[in-house]
Every structure is written in structure tokens, then in C-alpha cells.
Amino acid sequence: MKEQLQKDFYNSIKNLSLSQKDIEIKKFCLDNFIDKGFPNRKEEDWKFSDLNQIIKNNIGELSFYNDQTSTNKVDTSVFVDGLEHNKIVFINGRIEKIDFEYEKKDQIEIIDQSETINEFKNSNSLSDLNNAFTNKCFKILVKKGYQLVKPLIIYHTTNSKICAKNINLRLNFELDKDSSLRLIDLFNDASEKNFLNIFYNFELKENAVLKNYKVDKFENKNIKYSFNNIDQDKNSISETFILSSGSNFSKNEINCNLNGVYASAFVNGVFSLNNDKHHEIRSIINHLTENTKSYQLIKSVLDESSKAVYQGKIFVNSDAQKTDGYQLSKAILLNKESEFNAKPELEIYADDVKCSHGSASGSLNEDSIFYLMSRGLSYQQSRELLINGFLLDVVEKITDSEIKNLIKNMLGIKE
């Protein structure tokens, strides 16, 4: 893999206008990655999902060079109907379109940061890989007091032209004081056997509100890793919703730092899996100052030989008195081959806190099915009703009604 990496690296920096210093940094990251490789089971964070093995078994040889000199045609048929929205379109990892047609132009700034490489605080081998190979990076700045009228949808589209490629993406967001942003990540894949490595960084200033919905619904044979870092100032709110369903393998990591008082973070997730899919959510909520709050709810429905993993951590610093942290994960295993693993972790250094977590997994309740069947529903209908009700609980947590309906439609849940 080493030769391949080095060859691809020189091919990809060839077309970029980088300073000597930037090349040095990228090289340093590349060497780090070559040193560490893809994460494997030996690392605590990857205990339940060995990415190294997964890539080996599903992709085989991976190529890291993406020819991004020619443009791709934007296929408008993938756009969401019935919901007016702003767009950012990625096709095969190349940014094709940034369009904030519904917003005041002077309130949003799009800054090209391709030339500056910003280090992630908690770096791992995948962030090194991302640093070494991302060649376009934008920062989206929402200015003070501006609240976006329409949601922003980021389309992650891949077509059949690419196969066995590694795609690295990076976006930075800054929400200034009193601003707000609704953001949907929508995955549309017509390709297979690619590895997507996505890093987002959010900076929320005082009173800012971020709502991020990640929707991976459509069947595909790709492998995805996504990392969100969220830094929150006083009074800010972040809401993250993850619908984890379509890809062969997917891991979403949320790292949230509650730096300012009264900041709060909500992480909700749904795993709806079948076949041999293997999905994971890992969340780390760092309560770093007093009076902060976090709430997490993860529900899974696992069919056939699918596997879901939830690793959630609540960290409470010794200064973070009056913290309120809550975490609940529930799973229904529909098939004897399916598997659910959880590691709900609490690390607490302050005494005046209220932290709790719960985790439950098991089969569908036969008594409930019996109840519904005795009232005239078929077995299949009762099962569906129960599963929908189970998942609806999480979907109902979405605070934006437009987007809630969109996601309900996607899941086929009717009330």
C-alpha cells in the first residue's frame, strides 16, 4: 500500500498550487498515515469494527488519486422535490456547485481554504489521510444575526465512473453570534466499493443554532466514515440526527465540545439495517463548563445478519458542575444472525451532576404482536407497526417540522 500511497500523493499534489510549507505538512500527514495505516481492532475506538479488515474484504486494493480536472454533469434528478433549499453538490468527491439562491448574498461568505490546512485537535490516522489528500476545502461563514431562510442540502453523489477509490472531503462551518443553519447531508450513490472519508468542523458562537441531519438511506456498496467536530460557545445549540441505513459499512463520529455555559447538544440516531451491513455511531460529548446539557437517543432495528454498534461517551470536567447528561440506546434484533454492541461510557470528575445512561437490546415483544393480532392485524402488519413506532420515537425528536416530514417520508413512516 505504501508505494501506491506515495505515487497517488505526488499525482494529486501535482495539479495543486501549494506552497512548499503546505506540501511539507501534507507530506507529514501522509507519513503519519503510512505509519499507522487504517485503524484496526487494536484501537479502542475501533474495537467493534475493524476498518482495515472491512476495506480489505470489501474493496481490496484502494486507489487514492482522483482526477478532478474535468467537471461532472450535475444530475438534477437527485434533488429533493417539494422542499426549497440551498445546495452544495459533490460528485465523486469533486465540488460542482455551491448555490445559496434563497439567501441574502452578503450574509453568507464562502471562503476557499484549500491553501491552509487546519489541523484537527484529536487527530487519528483517518484525519491524517484526509489532510494529505483533500485538495479543495471551503469554509462557510454565516454572519452575525443571520438565520438561513431555507435549509442547505449537501448532496454527496457518486456515479459508476469510480470504483475502488478513496474520496476525502472537508468542509468548515462557522456560525457567528445569533445565527442559525439547517443542514442536510444526503447520500446518493450509484457507485460501489469506494471509501468516503468526510470531515466537518463546526464552530458555533454565542446563541448559534445548528441542525445537522445526515441521511444515508439509499442502498449502496460503499464504505463511509464521517467525523463531525462541533465547538460550542455560550447558549448555543447543536442538534445532530443520523439516519444510518444504506451503505455497506458506515461509521459516524460526533465530537462535541460544550465550551460555553448553557450550551446544549442533542444527538439522535436511527440504525435500520439488513443484509450484512455493519454500521456504527460513536459520540463523545465533552462537558467542559458548568450548566451544559446533552441528550442522546439511538435506536436500532437489525435484520438479517446486520450489525450495529453504538459507542457513546459523556465526559464531565471537574469545572462542569450542574451538568445534565443523558444517553439511551435501544435495539431490536429481528434475526438470530444480527448483532448489537454498545459501549455507553461515563467519565465524570464533578460531583453536582446528573448523568445517566441506559442500554437495552432484545427481540420484538411477542406480547405486543399478540395484542395487535388479536385485534385483526396480520403478523406482518403488527411487526411493521411496532417497528415504525419504535423508530418514530427518534424521528419525532427532530425539531424542524419540514425536515421531519421529509425524513418520515424517506423511512416510509406514516402516523
Partner 1 sequence: MDNRQKEINNLKDYKYGFSTDIENIQAPKGLNEDVIKFISNIKKEPTWMLEFRLKAFERFKVLKEPDWQKPKFPKIDYQDLYYYSAPKSMKDKPKSLDELDPKLLETYKKLGIPLQEQARLNGIAVDAVFDSVSVATTFKDELTKQGIIFCPISEAIQNHPELVKKYLGSVIPTSDHFFATLNSAVFTDGSFVYIPEGVRCPMELSTYFRINASNTGQFERTLIIADKGSYVSYLEGCTAPMRDENQLHAANVELVALDDAEIKYSTVQNWYPGDQDGKGGIYNFVTKRGLCKGKNSKISWTQVETGSAITWKYPSCILKGDNSVGEFYSIAITNNHQKADTGTKMIHLGKNTKSKIISKGISAGNSDMTYRGLVDISSKAKNSTNYTQCDSLLMGNKCGAHTVPYIKNKNSESNIAHEATTSKISEEQLHYCQQRGLNPEEAVGLIVNGFCKEVLQQLPMEFAVEAQKLVGISLEGSVG
Query: Does the footprint of partner 1 cover residue 74 (CB under 8 A)?
Result: no
171 vs 331 by CB, closer to partner 1? 331
Query: Does the footprint of partner 1 cover residue 369 (CB under 8 A)?
Result: no
Query: Does the footprint of partner 1 cover residue 304 (CB under 8 A)?
Result: no
Per CB under 8 A, the segment of 67-75, 83-91, 179-187, 330-338 that binds partner 1 is 330-338
Closest CA to 197 of 273, 134, 122, 121: 134
Q: How many residues bind partner 1 (CB under 8 A)?
A: 35
135 vs 341 by CB, closer to partner 1? 341
User: Quick one: which of 67, 109, 119, 345 contacts partner 1 (CB under 8 A)?
Assistant: 345
Query: Does the footprint of partner 1 cover residue 71 (CB under 8 A)?
Result: no
Closest approach, Cβ 115 to partner 1, in A, equals 40
Query: Does the footprint of partner 1 cover residue 405 (CB under 8 A)?
Result: no
Query: Does the footprint of partner 1 cover residue 389 (CB under 8 A)?
Result: no
Closest CA to 230 of 280, 264, 196: 264
Query: Does the footprint of partner 1 cover residue 318 (CB under 8 A)?
Result: yes
303 vs 400 by CB, closer to partner 1? 303
Q: How many CB atoms lie within 10 A of CB 364?
A: 16
333 vs 411 by CB, closer to partner 1? 333
Query: Does the footprint of partner 1 cover residue 383 (CB under 8 A)?
Result: no
Query: Does the footprint of partner 1 cover residue 44 (CB under 8 A)?
Result: yes
Query: Does the footprint of partner 1 cover residue 354 (CB under 8 A)?
Result: yes
Per CB under 8 A, the segment of 76-84, 183-191, 205-213, 361-369 that binds partner 1 is 361-369
Query: Does the footprint of partner 1 cover residue 361 (CB under 8 A)?
Result: yes
Closest approach, Cβ 356 to partner 1, in A, equals 4
Closest approach, Cβ 344 to partner 1, in A, equals 6
Closest approach, Cβ 286 to partner 1, in A, equals 14
Query: Does the footprint of partner 1 cover residue 321 (CB under 8 A)?
Result: yes
Query: Does the footprint of partner 1 cover residue 10 (CB under 8 A)?
Result: no
Query: Does the footprint of partner 1 cover residue 341 (CB under 8 A)?
Result: yes
Query: Does the footprint of partner 1 cover residue 130 (CB under 8 A)?
Result: no
Query: Does the footprint of partner 1 cover residue 334 (CB under 8 A)?
Result: yes
- Contact yes or no for 278/244 (Cβ under 8 A): no
> Which spans of this chain sit near partner 1 (rule: CB under 8 A)?
44, 318, 321, 331, 333-363
